[in-house]
Amino acid sequence: MANLKAIEYKSFEDIKHQDNSGDDYWLARELAPILGYIQWRNFRKVVDRAMLACNNSGIDVHNQFAEVSKLVEHGSGAKRRIRDYKLSRYACYLIVQNGDPRKEIIALGQTYFAIQTRRQEVQDYFNQLDEDNQRLVVRGNIKQWNQMLAESAHRAGIIDEDTFAEFQNAGYAGLYGGETVADIHARKGLSQKEKILDFMNSSELAANLFRITLAHDKMKKGGIDTPPEAIMAHSIAGQEARGAIIRADAILPEDQPTPTKSVEQIAREQIARIKKEAKKGKLMLDEDYDD
C-alpha cells in the first residue's frame, strides 16, 4: 500500500501543470485515466457532479473548471477538436470526492488533493502575515525540525557535545559557503547569549528550515548509523540547499540583512499585547456588568 501510494502520488505530480501566474492546474483528460476512468463519458459524469458541488459551495465554477479544447488525431490522420477542462486543485479535490469510492486510487486521490489544498491554504495564510509573524512561524517550525534532526543524529551515534557541534557546523558551512556557527554569530555582531536563528529574517530562516528538513530526510532514508556519515549528510544537505538558492538567483543567506529585533523579543511583545488586550476586554465586560 505504501509503495502504491508513493507511485500514485507521483502520477498526480507528473501531470501537474503551471500557468503563467505560477498556479498549479491539471487537465481532466490526463487525470481521468490515472483515476481509473478509461471512457471519457463516464468521467464526464464525475466532473459534472463535482461542478455541481462547487456551485453549491458558492464558488465560481468557471474559475475552477475552465473549459478548454484541443485537437486530437484519429486513426485516419484526420483531426478533430475535443473538450477538456483546466482544473484547479480544488476542482480536482471535488472530482475525487465525487468519484467511485470502490476504486483504491480514488481514495489515494482524495488524500493527495486534500493535502495539496491544505498546503495551499497554509501558504496563502502565511503570505498574508507581516515579516515579524512570518519569522515567528518559521522559527517555530525550525525548533520542531531541529529536535527531530537531533534525535536522528543521536541514533547515528552523535552523543557528545563536541561531535554534535561538528555535526551542526557541517550543515551551516554547507549552506553558508563555509561559515560555521561561530562565524555567523560574529558576522551578525551578536552577544554571547544571543542565538543566530533568532536574528534571521524570514527568508534566511526558510533557507535553514530547508537545510534541516533535507538533512533529516537524508538520515532517515539513507540508513545512516555512524557520526561521520551523519556529519557528511548534513554537509551535503546544506550544500544542496545553497545550490537551490543559487539556481533560483535568490539572495544567499549570508547576504540577508540581520533584523534588529530577535524572534524572542517579538514573541514577548506580542504576548504582552495580547495580555493587555485581554485585560482591557475584561475591564469593559466588568463595566458592562456593573451597569
| Domain end marker among 67, 96, 128 | 128
Cell 453549491 -> residue: 56
Distance of alpha carbon 250 from alpha carbon 204, whole angstroms? 11
Shared domain for 187 and 83, answered yes or no, is: no
Looking at the fold, whether 111 and 15 belong to one and the same domain comes out as: yes
Mean pLDDT across 55-61: 81
Claim to verify: residue 43 and residue 143 sit in the same structural domain: no
The pLDDT tens digits of the residues spanning 64-109 come to 999 888 777 766 667 778 889 999 988 988 898 888 767 778 777 7
**What is the predicted pLDDT for the residue at 1?**
40
| 123 shares a domain with 145 | no
Say how far apart CA 121 and CA 203 lie, in whole Å.
Answer: 20
285, exposed or middle or buried, with CB in 10 Å at 0-12, 13-18, 19+? exposed
**Pair (182, 230) in one structural domain:** yes
The string of pLDDT tens digits covering residues 155-182 is 999 999 999 999 999 999 999 999 999 9
Tally the domains of the chain: 3
Same domain, 182 and 275: no
Domain limits for position 66: 2-128
One domain, residues 7 and 44: yes
250 & 277 share domain: no
Same domain for 99 and 177? Answer: no
The pLDDT, as a whole number, for residue 283 is 42
- Do 246 and 273 lie in one domain? The reply is no
Same domain for 202 and 233: yes
* Whether pTM exceeds 0.85: no
Whose grid coordinates read 479535490? 93
Domain match, 35 and 154 both:
no
* Last residue of one domain, picked from the residues 128, 161, 181: 128
